[in-house]
Structure 1
Amino acid sequence: MAFTTTLLAWSVLEFGSSMHDQIDNARAAIRWSTDYLLKAATSTPDTLYVQVGEANMDHKCWERPEDMDTPRNVYKVTPQDPGSDVAGETAAALAASSLVFKESDPQYSSKLLEAAITVFNFADTYRGSYSDSLNSVVCPFYCSYSGYHDELLWGASWIYKASGSSSYLSYIQSNGHVLGADDDAYSFSWDDKRGGARVLLSKEFLEKNNQELELYKAHADNYICSLVAGSPGFQAQYTPGGLLYKGSAANLQYVTSTSLLLLTYAKHLSLSSIRVRCGGSTVTAQSLIGLARKQVDYILGDNPANMSYMVGFGERYPKNIHHRGSSLPSIHDHPQRISCNDGYRYYHSSAPNPNILVGAIVGGPDRSDRFSDNRYNYQQSEIATYINAPLVGALAFFSANTI
């Protein structure tokens, strides 16, 4: 949820001017989330509430939100049970969102930034992973596989951008090599923030010619080169149809987040007249935009299956998504309660979902561009807010740029 919020805020910060009459909806979505995160964060400075509900119990039930009766236990991270990963991302979400509201609601913006700093101090002072501290309730669903160092770098980077405080720049310089800045990982997701942190910090270098951050420009270039076929640093895999492919479960999360990074980097390369060098080749902003457009067009239907992976968009889209509320009849059509186990008759049904979750992006096709439209195949048919959030910025960009 925090990563979703950070990327939705970043989408607005980079491409909000292209959202036109949707900008208020974007801000409202961010505020819905930050209001919740504030409540989770502001009880005491050394406590962050991070989960409501028993993940294992919830996953055993197939029922509507209105009918849920599984335990609503509340879990927190503390000095004794730290969670630098979840706290670092929460700090990033609050700081990034503070910039969204800086002009429209200065008082709320200040409140968000103040909370971000408090949460980050807690994350940094009491270091540890929340999937260690809360292993039995967090894993295997929300384990932090990349550790927490990337979230500390990410959180500090957003607070530096939001506050302009030199102390956070000093923190990044002093701790960056320990927090993964020197490790050229070629991923960006809800679990691994290193690629995003490099692009964010390289923006500061490009915008302000801050020589202290020049190293991050080099690392961001390495990340970009890893995506460009034919370059010496090429690391990515693409399907025969041209889709970036990182993994079998919810692969489109990597596609949407990478597309946002490509467009953000392209924007700031254009403004600075600086290019990316991949070995002996020069990669222009236009080529990055073209690569991102290929990914976005693929999601929307320009692919070998002629399938739109956005529910409700286009002539052909997934009809059997792995989503309880979508697959079960609404309370208007079926007022009687549907219990935990009774809902599975709808899960196993071959009938299309009765409630179309318009706009949701599914996990997407496999490495061979094949997609199985059934609820059992959650790796491909499950939807997630962290898949959608970065696509908001990409769609805003392409709505205003037809190139």
Structure 2
Amino acid sequence: MCENRGQSGKLFRIMAVILVTSLLLSTLIFQQKVQAASSPRTGGSYYNYGEALQKSILFYKANRLGDLPDNYILPYRADAAMTDGKDAGIDLTGGWADAGDGIKFTHPMSYAAGQLGWAVYEYREAFEKSGQLDDILDEIKWATDFFIKAHPSPEVLYYMCGYEESDHSVWIPHELLDYRTKRTSFKVDSTTPGSDVAGQTAAALAIASIIFEPTDPQYASTCLTHAKQLFSFADKYRGKNPLKTLYPSGSYVDDLAWGAIWLYIKTGDPNYLDKAKAVLPVTSLGGQHTHCWDDVSYGAALKIAQVTHDTGYAAMVEKNLDWWMPGGGLKYTPGGLAWLSQWGSLRYASTAAFLAFVWSDDKTVGTASKKDTYHKFAESQINYALGDNPRGGSYVVGFGKNAPEHPHHRTAHGSWTSMLTVPAFHRHILYGALVGGPTSDDSWKDDISDYTLNEVATDYNAGFAGALAKMYDMYGGEPLENWPKPEDFRAKEDNLTEYFVRGWIIYEGYGTLNLMFQINNRSAWPAAMKDKLSARYYMDLTEVFESGHKLEDVEITLGQSQGAKLYGLKQYKDNIYYFTVDFSGTQIMPAEWELCEKDANVSIKYKDNCGSNENDWSYKNLYGPPDYDAVSFAGMTPYIPVYDSGVLLWGEEPFKQEPGFTYGDINSDGSIDTIDFALLKQILMGSTPGNVNMQAADVKADGEVNALDYAVLKSYLLNMIDKLPQ
């Protein structure tokens, strides 16, 4: 027996030596990799961390819902989800859409806002130096404003607007959510508790109360009031949110601890610290995961350890971080990514990197000999996302080499058929979005339909932005100046026209011309529902009048149509007349085939065969019979213009004599720009600046200068219409 025990012990010692040697070797290889990966870049391969940070914040503007500013920095975005809360009798507009879909979840949104706020708390100077502080505070406030709305009384919190079955049944831009989905509101209260979502939201607002104190103390005070009430509600009625949601919580105690520790940091009230430690004791910590929307125990433990210097909590923080190090237990891809899950692998790695940065920066708590390893790990993970990977490509849309071009995001894609395959490219560049990331073997495909690898989300970018702030703080990199410009958001391949008419000849002969008109709305700058669209067919009736016939001898009739009315004939100039196919009252929107296009059949008959259409302005480019689908542009003709409320939206009208000036060029400097827009605003406010052309201010060319001219010029400058009246 003793001999056998001796052989067993020897075998065990040999295996132990092999294991230790293997761990030391993998750690050495890792350290060599990160040593090379985390040094500041030089020359053309330098990572501009300032630009990456700038773009990572801009992503949140692409996911805003609610009433957006008229001069919004993203020209492809406009007001969206404006009915949120209507079913509950309150205003729940605002906040962020969660991911590539359009549902609004308070739980992951409060995690993202809190995480961004934590980044400002830790690295405020980096945000200031990079010029991004105002931008990130503005984004955080967009979310916290919603949380305040969603908390109308101390024991009520709305946690979701919209739901999966309705929202995921369509693939439409956010601007059309109100038209095609049900925006049902869901809440937690004293009878249906939700300590998870309430605790998380309390934390986000407590953090906001800290970071807004230097710039807006009144708002900081408001945030603190709501944070205290929400924490009290979450603590009093304990339980997970039981209602159906795409974000079911694993626990609520972590959320309570997260809210409590930040309230302690803000207020200094020891009751909050005691509560945080009570609901999150040391014995519950050290798990194999990281900080995320569903488990904030890692962040809570880190902050508890920092404020208390409790060695037990510090040990558990390091136990978790050690698990993320090579040889610690977590799987690594061959290219060096700490890979936790197929769902948002980069989200977890970049957030673990943020925690590692924060912990390694603190010289007052923890094991000093480990801090350098944690720090290098964090750098390597962020650099992997930016390009230090076997693919040699960035995983951030619009940044670096070989960046993703097909993120799973409905508005960036801009489909008018509610299909992921139409169009085959994205109409907008979703700058700064961190995609889910590669598989465990570093493989990845830029495919919109693979939402596992290409989903983007507000929680994905949150830890990433904070880690980028630290990278910028260390290595610099200038954010782009005078960026973004409107043209930066139009995909290079995208030459699509948003509004147009397709026309076909159904029959022609014996003084009769039967036409089919199809009016199209494929708008994406921004996507818009239109219910006042019309098209005009311009005719030259010279031969009719020269033959002695009258206008009454030309008969225009409407056949089958999808909601159209027919008006005409109306004189345009001399012998040129037009009739109008008016779809006013019919909703036309880029939401699906049946909604993005509407048809009307029109017949033109000449008495005694007195006329011909061959010299008509609008006859050019017509052919038939129709052969089309909802993807192609077959039959598109600019000579049948499209109008919105009577204002030319697209196409070409018959030649008009040049007026000797350019409509919209109010200061006559040869260009139509924001200066002209400002001058027109002054004119409408009753002030007439000197050296202005009042005729050019009549942008709509209807003989009056009024609010309609202001609206038309604004639409033109935002690329919502192709041209101004000529």
With normalisation by structure 1, the TM-score equals: 0.87
1:56 aligns with 165
Q: String of CA shifts for 1:342-371, please: whole Å, max 9, x gaps.
A: 311xx0247221111000000000000000
Aligned-residue offset at 1:235: 2.5
2:344 aligns with 250
Q: String of CA shifts for 1:77-110, please: whole Å, max 9, x gaps.
A: 0111111111110011001111111121111111
Q: How far apart, in 1, do the equivalents of 2:358 and 2:285 lie?
A: 21
Q: How far apart, in 2, do the equivalents of 1:100 and 1:13 lie?
A: 6
2:307 aligns with 204
Task: Determine whether 1:220 maps to 2:304.
Answer: no
Q: How far apart, in 2, do the equivalents of 1:383 and 1:324 lie?
A: 11
1:303 aligns with 389
Gaps of 5+ in 1: 207-212, 330-337
Q: Aligned runs of 1:101-250 on 2, under 5 Å? A: 101-130=212-241, 132=242, 134-135=243-244, 138=245, 141-144=246-249, 146-177=250-281, 182-187=284-289, 188-206=291-309, 213-230=310-327, 234-250=328-344
Letter in 2 for 1:396: A
Alignment partner for residue 91 of structure 1, among 202, 215, 231?
202
2:474 aligns with 401
SS in 2 for 1:401: helix
Letter in 2 for 1:287: T
Letter in 1 for 2:209: S
Q: How far apart, in 2, do the equivalents of 1:220 and 1:226 lie?
A: 10
2:410 aligns with 324
Alignment partner for residue 122 of structure 2, among 14, 30, 34?
14
Q: How far apart, in 2, do the equivalents of 1:377 and 1:150 lie?
A: 31
SS in 2 for 1:51: strand
Q: 1:148 to 1:369 in 2, by over 3 A?
A: same
- Decide whether the 8 Å contact of 1:311 with 1:319 is kept in 2: yes
Q: How far apart, in 2, do the equivalents of 1:225 and 1:9 lie?
A: 26
Letter in 1 for 2:248: C
1:334 aligns with none
Task: Determine whether 1:24 maps to 2:134.
Answer: yes
- Decide whether the 8 Å contact of 1:157 with 1:168 is kept in 2: yes
Gaps of 5+ in 2: 1-108, 477-726
Aligned-residue offset at 1:193: 1.0
Runs of 4+ in 1 over 4 A off after TM superposition: none
Q: How far apart, in 1, do the equivalents of 2:285 and 2:126 lie?
A: 34
Q: CA RMSD of the aligned region, Å?
A: 1.7
Alignment partner for residue 66 of structure 1, among 175, 184, 200?
175
Q: String of CA shifts for 1:226-267, please: whole Å, max 9, x gaps.
A: 12224xxx2322111111111111111101211110111111
Highest relative contact order (Cα 8 Å, sep 6+), 1 or 2? 1
Aligned-residue offset at 1:13: 0.7
Alignment partner for residue 391 of structure 1, among 464, 470, 487?
464
Q: How far apart, in 1, do the equivalents of 2:351 and 2:221 lie?
A: 27
Alignment partner for residue 418 of structure 2, among 343, 346, 364?
343
- Decide whether the 8 Å contact of 1:253 with 1:387 is kept in 2: yes
Q: String of CA shifts for 1:105-141, please: whole Å, max 9, x gaps.
A: 11111111111010011111111111x2x12xx1xx2
Q: How far apart, in 1, do the equivalents of 2:253 and 2:397 lie?
A: 35
Q: String of CA shifts for 1:368-401, please: whole Å, max 9, x gaps.
A: 0000111111010010111111122211111121
Q: How far apart, in 2, do the equivalents of 1:46 and 1:32 lie?
A: 22
2:614 aligns with none
- Decide whether the 8 Å contact of 2:256 with 2:276 is kept in 1: no
Q: 1:58 to 1:46 in 2, by over 3 A?
A: same
Q: String of CA shifts for 1:257-295, please: whole Å, max 9, x gaps.
A: 1111011111113xx2x5528xxxx41x22222110100
1:209 aligns with none
Q: How far apart, in 1, do the equivalents of 2:462 and 2:259 lie?
A: 18
Q: How far apart, in 1, do the equivalents of 2:292 and 2:145 lie?
A: 23
Alignment partner for residue 425 of structure 2, among 352, 363, 371?
352
- Decide whether the 8 Å contact of 1:181 with 1:194 is kept in 2: no
Aligned-residue offset at 1:172: 2.5
SS in 2 for 1:60: coil
Q: How far apart, in 2, do the equivalents of 1:275 and 1:93 lie?
A: 26
Q: How far apart, in 2, do the equivalents of 1:128 and 1:94 lie?
A: 20
Letter in 1 for 2:410: R
Q: String of CA shifts for 1:27-52, please: whole Å, max 9, x gaps.
A: 111111111111111x1111001111
Percent identity between matched residues is 34
- Decide whether the 8 Å contact of 1:16 with 1:393 is kept in 2: no
Q: How far apart, in 1, do the equivalents of 2:278 and 2:388 lie?
A: 46
Aligned-residue offset at 1:55: 2.1
1:286 aligns with 372
SS in 1 for 2:186: strand
Q: How far apart, in 1, do the equivalents of 2:382 and 2:314 lie?
A: 25
Larger radius of gyration: 2
Letter in 1 for 2:351: S
With normalisation by structure 2, the TM-score equals: 0.49
2:155 aligns with 46
- Decide whether the 8 Å contact of 1:205 with 1:217 is kept in 2: no
Q: How far apart, in 1, do the equivalents of 2:378 and 2:277 lie?
A: 31
Letter in 2 for 1:343: S
Question: Greater helix share, 1 or 2?
Answer: 1
Task: Determine whether 1:267 maps to 2:267.
Answer: no
Aligned-residue offset at 1:181: 5.6
Q: How far apart, in 2, do the equivalents of 1:214 and 1:115 lie?
A: 33
